[in-house]
């Protein structure tokens, strides 16, 4: 059992359990409205805690290494979207439209924060630079991801960069984050000392969003179009995406003359996609039951990136 836990993220099992709960007991009617309100509150609380945890000094300190930050930015918001367009062109012929769209949407998301920093630390890389890159990626991604969605997603996907969507993102993500930054001098120390609290809110809010999204998908009947073969294809497409980006960031950083520590930060920050930011954004950008199909590739990619990066971090950390 201990060996199994090393290779399978327990959080993935919780996500699968949440999907199963939504399949058996989807929220309907009044309960669906209550779930939507709870999701709004939970996402706002999640980004409030993000703001309260992040020290502004860490961002400014990391900005001095502008070459590293630019490399991570280009990997996250240029390389990934280009690859996503290619994958979408192929996947559209073999996968249901919502899932194929989800593969492209996945490529438009910002990087993760917690796991990027954790793996960089395990690999003995440049942790301050990773903290800055991952944090900036999420902040910038709040605006860039919807803009990229408007530019790259098909016009019939329902996604865009309307004023109403911008207002929703600002109210659910940017405003709570700014409030957390303002409250950081008062509660920052408490939050850093009580990491269990933030972990419960972090993971619990995502589980709630997943339940609401998949409930809506069950009520709309979208899951009748998904087969085991489709899931296998999603895993294969995700593996190709992750493998290409890791190879490009790894060998590209060496060609550009980065140190090994900087290379590690670039690889782990430039190859990840954030489920914590991605699922809330998907619920805003893609209203309706189809959002459960759109976030499916992201959920699979989340587990795949944890597995691959855990192995990679151990190999990096074992170097002389």
- Please name each of the domains of the chain with its CATH number: 27-312 (1.20.1530.20)
pLDDT at 226 over 90: no
**Reported pTM:** 0.75
Asked if residues 137 and 271 have their Cβ atoms less than 8 Å apart, the reply is no
Cβ contact 298:165 at 8 Å: no
CA atoms within 13 A on the CB side of 142: 19
Whether 268 has a pLDDT exceeding 90, the answer reads yes
Of 62, 88, 103, 14, residue with least CA distance to 269: 62
112-158 confidence digits (pLDDT tens): 877 787 788 888 888 778 878 887 787 788 788 888 988 888 876 55
- Number of continuous H segments (helices) and E segments (strands) in the chain: 17, 0
Q: How large is the average pLDDT for residues 49-77?
A: 80
What DSSP element (H or E) covers 187? helix 175-193
> Contact, 46 vs 244, CB < 8 A?
no
* 246/54: higher pLDDT: 246
Structure tokens at 122: 């395990």
Tell me what percent of the residues of the chain surpass a pLDDT of 70.
Answer: 84
Q: Which residues contact 66 (CB under 8 A, 6 or more apart)?
A: none
Query: Over 70: is that where the pLDDT of 63 sits?
Result: no
Q: Which single residue is written with the structure tokens 């199994």? A: 4
CA distance 282 to 276: 11
Task: Over range 224-230, report the average pLDDT.
Answer: 80
Looking at the chain, how many residues does it have? Answer: 320
Separation CA 165–CA 108 (nearest Å): 16
Helical axes 127-152 vs 80-91, angle rounded to 10°: 50
The C-alpha torsion from 133 through 114 and 200 to 285, rounded to 10°, is 50
12 pLDDT more than 70: no
How far is residue 115 from each of residues 134, 204, 261, measured CA to CA in Å?
Answer: 9, 17, 16
Least confident of 5-19, 68-82, 243-257, 270-284: 5-19
DSSP 221: T
Which pLDDT score, from 0 to 100, does residue 194 have?
77
276 or 159: which leads in pLDDT: 276
Q: Report residue 161's pLDDT band, with 50, 70 and 90 as the boundaries.
A: low
Which residue's entry shows tokens 């060998």?
Answer: 251
Query: Is 64's pLDDT higher than 80?
Result: no
């Amino acid at each position: 059992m201990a060996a199994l836990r090393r290779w399978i993220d327990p959080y993935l099992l919780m996500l699968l359990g949440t999907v199963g709960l939504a399949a058996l007991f989807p929220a309907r009617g009044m309960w669906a409205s209550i779930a939507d309100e709870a999701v709004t509150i939970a996402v706002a609380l999640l980004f409030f805690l993000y703001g309260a945890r992040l020290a502004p000094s860490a961002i400014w300190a990391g900005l001095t290494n502008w070459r590293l930050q630019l490399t991570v930015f280009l990997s996250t918001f240029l390389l990934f979207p280009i690859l996503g367009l290619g994958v979408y062109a192929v996947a559209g012929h073999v996968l249901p439209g919502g899932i194929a769209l989800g593969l492209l949407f996945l490529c438009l998301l910002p990087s993760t924060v917690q796991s990027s920093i954790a793996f960089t630390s395990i690999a003995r890389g440049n942790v301050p630079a990773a903290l800055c890159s991952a944090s900036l990626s999420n902040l910038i991604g709040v605006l860039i991801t919807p803009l990229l969605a408007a530019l790259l997603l098909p016009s019939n996907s329902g996604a865009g960069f309307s004023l109403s969507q911008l207002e929703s993102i600002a109210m659910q993500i940017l405003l709570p984050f700014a409030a957390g930054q303002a409250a950081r001098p008062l509660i920052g120390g408490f939050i850093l000392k009580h990491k269990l609290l933030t972990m419960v809110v972090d993971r619990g809010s995502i589980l709630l969003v997943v339940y609401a999204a998949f409930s809506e998908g069950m009520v709309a009947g979208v899951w009748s179009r998904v087969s085991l073969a489709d899931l296998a294809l999603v895993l294969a497409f995700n593996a190709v995406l992750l493998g290409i980006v890791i190879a490009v960031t790894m060998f590209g950083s060496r060609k550009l003359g980065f140190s090994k520590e900087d290379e590690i930060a670039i690889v782990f920050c430039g190859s990840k996609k954030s489920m914590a930011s991605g699922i809330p954004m998907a619920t805003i950008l893609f209203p309706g039951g189809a959002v459960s199909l759109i976030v499916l590739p992201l959920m699979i990619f989340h587990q795949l990136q944890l597995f691959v990066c855990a192995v990679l971090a151990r190999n990096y950390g074992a170097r002389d």
